[in-house]
Amino acid sequence: MKRWGRYHLYQSDKQCPEESANRWSSVRYDGGNAWNYNNNGISNNNNFSNELAARPVTKFKYKSIHWEMDLVSLEQAYKASRKHNKRSEDMVSFELDKYARLRRLRDEINARSYTPLHNYSFMHRRGQKPREVFAAEPELKIMMSFALSNIAPLIEAQLSQRTFNNRVGMGSQLAVNTIIEDIYTVSKGCTRPCWIIKVDYKGYFPNMNQDIAFQKVLDIVKEGYHRHDKQEVIYCLSVACFYNPEHSRRKSPIWDWNDYPSYKSVYYRPAGIGGFIGYTFWQMVASLYPAEIDKFVEESITPHFARYVDDTLMVTDNKEMALAMIPELRRRLADIGITLHPKKFYCQKYEHGVEFLGYRVFTDRLHLKMRTIARALGVARSKERGRRNYVDAINSYLGMIKSTSDLKWARAVLDAVDKKWATKDYENYKIINNHATR
C-alpha cells in the first residue's frame, strides 16, 4: 500500500520489478496493449500482462480510495457550529483547547470510534409549555455541522414549498402570510365559502422512528452525494441519529420530569424511537420526515396548505372531501410512527379565523396571541436578564408585534422598558443598548 496526501491507494498484490527499462502508460492502445515509452521512443506493441505496467486504479484487482477527515474541514465546521453560541460555556471551554480537541476528533472519526460523553438535557420552561431539550457537546455539534452543510442542498430539493420550518428564506412569518393568501385565493377574494382545517402531530419529536429517519437521509446521500467524503458524512449522521439519551446528563432537577407527559419525553420511549429537540440533525429531519405526507396532502386533499414542524393548516372549498381523507392521512402517519392529536383538530369557516404559530389569523388582519404579548411585557419589566439578552429579546418581541395589527402593544412594551437599559425608538419600534456589550 502506498499513501499520497490524505488518500490511501490500495494496489494489486502483484509487485512490479524495478529493473525493467520500459515505462508503461495507463492509456489503452487496443484490447490487450498499452502505449509504452522506452529509450527507443514510443511504441504500442506492449501487452498489459507484462511487468511494470502503469494501470488506472480502477483496473487493479484490489481497489478503493479512502478519504480521511482532515483538520481544515473540521475547523470550518467548528466555525459554523459556534456562529450563534460562541459565548456558551461549552464553546468557550472548547476554544481554550481547540486544536488538540479537533485533532482528537479527527482521529476518532477516521477510526470510527467517536462516542459522545458530555451531552446534556434540561427542561425549558420559559415559554408557553415545558419542553425537553437536548444539548450536544461541541464535538458532536461540529460533526453535525460538517455533515449537514454538505447535504443541505440535497435535503432542500426533497422538501415541498409548503414546508416552512428550518429553511433559509422561510419561517413562521412567511407561513402565516402564505395562509392569508391561500384564504383569499380559495374564497375568491372573500366572496365564496371556504374552510380551514388544522391538525397537529402528537408528540412529534419523541415519536419519530430513528431507523426510518436515518434511512430517508441515507437514501438521499447515496443517490445524490458523490464527493470523496461521503462515508465520513454518513458516519457523522449516524452518530447524531442513533445517540442513546441515557448517556445524557440532566442539568434540570429530575423532578422537573414528574409532571411532563411521558409521550413527550425521549427518556420514556423505547430504544430506537425519538428525535432530540436541540440537535441540528433532528431539526433538519423534522422537515424531511413527513415529506411524503406533505405530498399526499398537496395531491389528495388541497394544494393550499402550510406545515411548520408538527402544525399543518389546510384551506379548502370542499370540506366533505377533505374530511373524508383524514382517515387515510392518519393511516399514512401511523406508518411512520406519528399520530394526529385528538384534541387539536380544528375545522371552521375562514371568517372565524384560526390560531397558527402564535398568531390569530384573519384575511383582513393579524393579531398576536395575548399570551405572547404578556410574555413580552414581562420581559420588558424584568431586571434579571443580561443586557445583550435583554435587548435582543425585546427587539424580537417588537419585531413580531409590529408585523400585526397590534401596534398599541408595541408602544406598551416600549413604555415598560427601563431607560437605564436602552434607548427607545418609537418610530421603528426597537430599543438600542445604552451600555457596552457584556
pLDDT at 169: 86
Angle ∠(91,231,102) on CA atoms, nearest 5: 25
Answer whether residue 412 shows pLDDT above 60.
Answer: yes
Q: Counting beta carbons within 10 angstroms of the beta carbon of residue 23, is it exposed (0 to 12), middle (13 to 18) or buried (19 or more)?
A: exposed
How many other β-carbons are positioned within 10 Å of the β-carbon of residue 430?
18
Answer whether residue 231 shows pLDDT above 60.
Answer: yes
Confidence category of residue 20, pLDDT binned at 50, 70, 90? very low
What's the whole-number mean pLDDT along residues 207-234?
93
Answer whether residue 67 shows pLDDT above 90.
Answer: no
* Helices 89-96 + 138-158 axis angle, to 10: 110
pLDDT at 66: 53
Angle ∠(209,303,300) on CA atoms, nearest 5: 65
Q: Which residues contact 395 (CB under 8 A, 6 or more apart)?
A: 430, 431
Answer whether residue 357 shows pLDDT above 70.
Answer: yes
Q: Counting beta carbons within 10 angstroms of the beta carbon of residue 238, is it exposed (0 to 12), middle (13 to 18) or buried (19 or more)?
A: middle
Specify the range with the lowest mean pLDDT, choosing from 44-48, 62-66, 82-86, 128-132.
62-66
pLDDT at 421: 66
pLDDT: is 50 or 13 the higher one?
A: 50
The alpha helices in 189-229, defined as continuous H runs, are 210-224
pLDDT averaged over every residue in the chain: 82
Answer whether residue 386 shows pLDDT above 70.
Answer: no
Cα–Cα distance, 136 to 149 (Å, whole number): 17
Confidence category of residue 332, pLDDT binned at 50, 70, 90? very high
pLDDT at 318: 92
Cell of 204: 412529534
Answer whether residue 225 shows pLDDT above 80.
Answer: yes
Confidence category of residue 237, pLDDT binned at 50, 70, 90? very high
pLDDT at 324: 94
Answer whether residue 416 shows pLDDT above 60.
Answer: yes
Decide: helix, strand or coil at residue 41.
strand
Total-model pTM:
0.77
Cα–Cα distance, 193 to 363 (Å, whole number): 13
